Structure 1
Amino acid sequence: MLTARHQAARFLFWLLAAVPGTLLALLLLCFGIPALKPYLYPIPDIAWIRDLYRHKDAALARIPGPRLLLVGGSAVHFGFDADRITTALGVETFNYGAHGGLDLTYLLDRAERVARPGDTVLLAIEYPLYRTPVPFTALPVFFSSFHDKRFWWRMPVDLWLDYASQYDPRLVLRAAADNLTHWKRAPLSERPGGYRVATIDARGSERGASRAQVTPRMRELVAQDRQLIRPLDRSSPGSRAVAGFVRRQQERRVAVLAGWPPSLRRVEYDEPVAYRMLADLRSFWQDLRVPVIGTPDRFMVPDEAVFDTSFHMNETGQAMVTAALIEALRAYTSQAARNAP
């Protein structure tokens, strides 16, 4: 029979052994070991984002500079035909649009990694991204933790707490359950559902959003997708991320232009608050010494030109907004030539 002293010693031993064991288990669960747990993900979007960036980074590396990089969320990805812009303007153009849910802090960091001195970055950012209340939401935190740990070393120290605060235990548990039931040998985006990296061309543009694929349910979801228009808040994390990105690129000799995101033409854009927001954006870019390309109304399209959200173009919408961007870039180039000494 164990004495009270022996019982206490055994309890203390197991307690001390359990703490590092639990921490090790959590680390393996949260961050994985690639050789044993290839890729954890909680939602299909994670699969698409991972393969999208792999495809785009590899394709972009093969394009000689100087280059025009189109940067933003999925409005850019689905909106612009970089191949057509390259042919029309004779400038090597690449569509580096991604998932707007990654937030501007992460989206712009990825763009900064691939931009080279001498390149031009055109930012066509969806309006809601300027006013995000926090630097990170769960999606970019979860994605970078599993698929882009390089982001940790690039992240400013003052954002560490914001980053850590967005860990969602529900996503971790879903990823753990998924990892127990799936062995992911194939690219993640080959799973049923969601978008396909196979429909992204060699210049990063989307080729899989056709009008023939649009269903009545998609139309219904787009009709319900009302835009909440608010004045620009320059102190928001999204606006601060843009300002910091612009300053860093100017120091690196990367030119920055401001454009407008492709979007469904909605009644909300005719309200006074929308006019104020668009005017605030022009002033914001002017204070950052960033030229603004075109006008927002030229990048708004009718119902039949969108795919499955207000910011996703089908092939008709892609042709419309690409033509508008080519026209705006030509006008900017001509004006810059006239103003040159």
Structure 2
Amino acid sequence: MRTFIRNASLFCAIQLVIGGLLILNATQQPQYGFMAAFEDKIRLLREHDEPTLIVLGGSNVAFGIDSPTLQQHCDMPVINGGLHAALGLQFYLDVATDCAKEGDVVVLMPEWMLLTGGTKPAPDLRLSMVQESPASWRYFCHLDCSELKTFVDDQAFCVLTSLVQSGSKLPTESRIQRKFEEAQLPDAYSRLKFNANGDFVGHHDLGTTKEIEKMKADVKFKPAVTLEAAERINACAQTLRERGAKVYLAYCPVPEPHFDKHQSSYDSLHELLTKNLDVPVLHHPDQVKYPTSYFYDTVCHLNLTGKMTRTKLVAQSLHGKFRVASKPVEKTLR
């Protein structure tokens, strides 16, 4: 019996080593997907060594901020940490808590959904995020017991299995080249379409590609849920202020037809947030309502015209609140 147990233990240990090597191989293979860009963003955020303006939020930030323009107006380096709203509000607050340093200025730009119920990550996106960006796993550790159990039962094994399968396929030159070419397609959402600051720039020449006014963008005012979001933001801001960083909140852009339809909800949200946040709010929601021609392919993604208009608003809203002269960001995303 002892011999069986010893042999079984040795067999399991060998399998674990093999599985670990396959997972390591998978994580080291080139990743060009959109979510893989977090690997580059988190490196910039962790390695910056001078006072920096950090902009955080979902894809409204990735698609809707022009960092070089903001950098020029605010006279300090800018890092765009925006990626995907479905990662949840807490994900970005944890990134800010982890990466912001003394002298930094953090501008939170959460999508409206993150202020009305999206504090936690969507399970399916969490799965693909960990697969494409292994560095993201640490920002999914703040789950309550039921969420952690769901993640372990329904997703963790799938993640490991997928990584093992991916790691068993050697990254041949043709396979890597094919992935690279697909990531460069004109309408591709890919890691290769971000600039050195973390802005998504692959849509600059595409204008407006869908009928934005027909898309669903209902904003439901839920005071209790918004208060929870405000409490989370306040807790993060308190930690950052104690560290010597400044924190501001700016709103996600909204198409004019949607704003006009739900104006009372936007007004109520703004009133509740300004009363309960310990963070300065840079502008009113009506200042980020834009014509549908300013949007790219969703109600949150601005095209180049919209991006520049929104960036100038943010720069003007921050004007005079701080002044730090420094050299521009020199690190590249690739």
TM-score normalised by the shorter chain: which range applies?
0.7 to 0.9
> Any conservation in 2 of the 1:38–1:184 contact (CA below 8 Å)?
no
Give 1:165 shift.
1.8
> Any conservation in 2 of the 1:231–1:273 contact (CA below 8 Å)?
no
CA separation in 1, counterparts of 2:224 and 2:284?
A: 21
Which residue number corresponds to residue 314 of structure 2? 325
> Any conservation in 1 of the 2:105–2:247 contact (CA below 8 Å)?
yes
Which of the residues 147, 157, 160 maps onto 2:134? 147
Which residue number corresponds to residue 338 of structure 1? none
Q: Percent identity?
A: 19
> Any conservation in 2 of the 1:189–1:196 contact (CA below 8 Å)?
no
CA RMSD of aligned residues (A): 4.1
CA separation in 1, counterparts of 2:212 and 2:162?
A: 26
User: Match of 1:148, SS?
Assistant: helix
The alignment's TM-score, normalised by the length of structure 1, stands at 0.73
> Any conservation in 2 of the 1:190–1:196 contact (CA below 8 Å)?
no
Which of the residues 180, 183, 189 maps onto 1:190? 180
User: Match of 1:210, SS?
Assistant: coil
Q: In structure 2, what residue type is equivalent to 1:323?
A: K
Which residue number corresponds to residue 284 of structure 1? 276
User: Match of 1:205, SS?
Assistant: coil
> Any conservation in 1 of the 2:25–2:167 contact (CA below 8 Å)?
no
Give the direction of change, closer, same or farther, for the CA distance of 1:237–1:191 in structure 2 (3 Å limit). farther
Which runs of 5 or more residues in structure 1 are unaligned?
1-8, 335-341
1:311 aligns with 2:300: yes
Q: Which has the larger radius of gyration?
A: 1
> Any conservation in 2 of the 1:47–1:188 contact (CA below 8 Å)?
no
Give the direction of change, closer, same or farther, for the CA distance of 1:241–1:332 in structure 2 (3 Å limit). same
Q: Deviations over 1:84-131 (max 9, x none)?
A: 011123232222212111112222222322211111101111110123
User: Match of 2:281, SS?
Assistant: coil
Q: In structure 2, what residue type is equivalent to 1:199?
A: K
1:252 aligns with 2:243: yes
Which of the residues 33, 43, 51 maps onto 1:47? 33
Q: Deviations over 1:185-205 (max 9, x none)?
A: 749973736412222222222
Which residue number corresponds to residue 57 of structure 1? 42
Greater mean alpha carbon deviation, residues 187-196 or residues 98-107: 187-196
CA separation in 2, counterparts of 1:63 and 1:321?
A: 25
CA separation in 1, counterparts of 2:308 and 2:170?
A: 40
Q: In structure 1, what residue type is equivalent to 2:192?
A: A
Q: How does 1:70-109 map to 2 (within 5 A)?
A: 70-109=55-94
Give 1:39 shift.
6.6
Give 1:48 shift.
1.7
> Any conservation in 2 of the 1:264–1:301 contact (CA below 8 Å)?
yes
Give the direction of change, closer, same or farther, for the CA distance of 1:260–1:207 in structure 2 (3 Å limit). same
CA separation in 2, counterparts of 1:197 and 1:99?
A: 13
> Any conservation in 1 of the 2:87–2:120 contact (CA below 8 Å)?
no
User: Match of 2:55, SS?
Assistant: strand
1:295 aligns with 2:284: yes
Give the direction of change, closer, same or farther, for the CA distance of 1:311–1:187 in structure 2 (3 Å limit). farther
Give 1:155 shift.
3.6
Give the direction of change, closer, same or farther, for the CA distance of 1:142–1:100 in structure 2 (3 Å limit). same
Which residue number corresponds to residue 331 of structure 2? none
Q: Deviations over 1:200-219 (max 9, x none)?
A: 2222222211253643xxx1
In the comparison of the two structures, how many residue pairs are matched? 310
User: Match of 1:291, SS?
Assistant: coil
Which residue number corresponds to residue 125 of structure 1? 110
Q: In structure 1, what residue type is equivalent to 2:50?
A: G
